[in-house]
């Protein structure tokens, strides 16, 4: 992915001014495909912009990597944002195009352990009662996708119960087909509630709360 020298300098300054704690980009990739090589170049580029962005490059070893298994990650290549024990932001694809700014924001907000979610969204998020999974299918060329991806990232940062997965539907067509993705952004909440299109952060986490309750009711009802 090509970024101009001017944009690279601008991002470097943004990271320098905004990041507080170190964030590690954990990449599971073997380098055997074009996407894996591009992702490796991508994380190296991001790490070159700030001493507070570290790298951890690991081979999936056909699913036998112990860290990969501990994180219960089933598909690779995958980029995971980590800080200490935190590893709940996962990205399947190359966060370029319109997705680059949302990835930059995720790194900074994880570094600061602070997000700009609205108070009402935080209230809805606080009502989640079980571990919850958010999948957001995106495309690099979709101008509406980053807003929804940010909701997912911020939910994971704000709540220990939430795991966020952003998936490029063009780069992972099998996953897109499995979840009947016909348009993006496509949101899958707890694998039992689908939403297509952009929503506000309040709507997003109200729906996540509803999907959480629905899943509990289906288990115990």
Each residue's pLDDT tens digit in the chain (221 positions)?
Answer: 668 888 889 999 999 999 999 999 999 999 889 999 999 999 999 999 999 999 999 999 888 899 999 999 999 999 999 999 999 999 999 999 999 999 999 999 999 999 999 999 999 999 998 999 999 999 999 999 999 999 999 999 999 999 999 999 999 999 999 999 999 999 999 998 899 999 999 999 999 988 877 654 443 33
Angle of the 201-220 helix axis to the 119-126 helix axis, nearest 10? 10
CATH of residue 33: 3.40.30.80
Number of domains in the chain: 1
Give one DSSP letter per residue of 141-195, joined into a string: T-SSHHHHHHHHHHHHHH-TTEEEEEEETTT-HHHHHHTT--SSSEEEETTTEEE
Quick one: CA torsion of 197, 201, 202, 208, rounded to 10 degrees? 70
The pTM is what? 0.93
Range(s) of the domain holding residue 15: 5-220
């Amino acid at each position: 992915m090509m970024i101009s020298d001017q944009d690279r300098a601008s991002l470097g300054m943004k990271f320098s001014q905004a990041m507080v704690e170190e964030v590690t980009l954990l990449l599971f990739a073997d380098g055997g495909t074009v996407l894996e090589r591009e992702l490796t170049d991508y994380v190296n580029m991001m790490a070159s912009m700030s001493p507070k962005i570290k790298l951890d490059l690991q081979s999936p070893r056909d699913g036998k990597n112990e860290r990969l298994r501990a994180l219960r990650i089933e598909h690779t290549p995958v980029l995971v944002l980590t800080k200490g024990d935190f590893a709940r932001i996962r990205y399947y694809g190359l966060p370029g195009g319109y997705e680059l700014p949302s990835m930059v924001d995720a790194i900074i907000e994880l570094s600061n352990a602070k997000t700009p979610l609205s108070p009402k969204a935080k209230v809805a998020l606080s009502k989640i009662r079980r571990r919850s999974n958010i999948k957001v299918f995106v495309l690099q060329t979709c101008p509406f996708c980053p807003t929804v991806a940010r909701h997912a990232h911020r939910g994971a940062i704000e709540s220990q119960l939430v795991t966020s997965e952003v998936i490029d539907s063009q780069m992972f067509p099998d996953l897109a087909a499995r979840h009947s993705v016909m348009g993006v952004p496509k949101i899958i909440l707890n694998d039992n509630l689908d939403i297509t299109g952009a929503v506000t952060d309040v709507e997003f986490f109200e729906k996540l709360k509803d999907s959480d309750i629905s899943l509990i009711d289906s288990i115990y009802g």
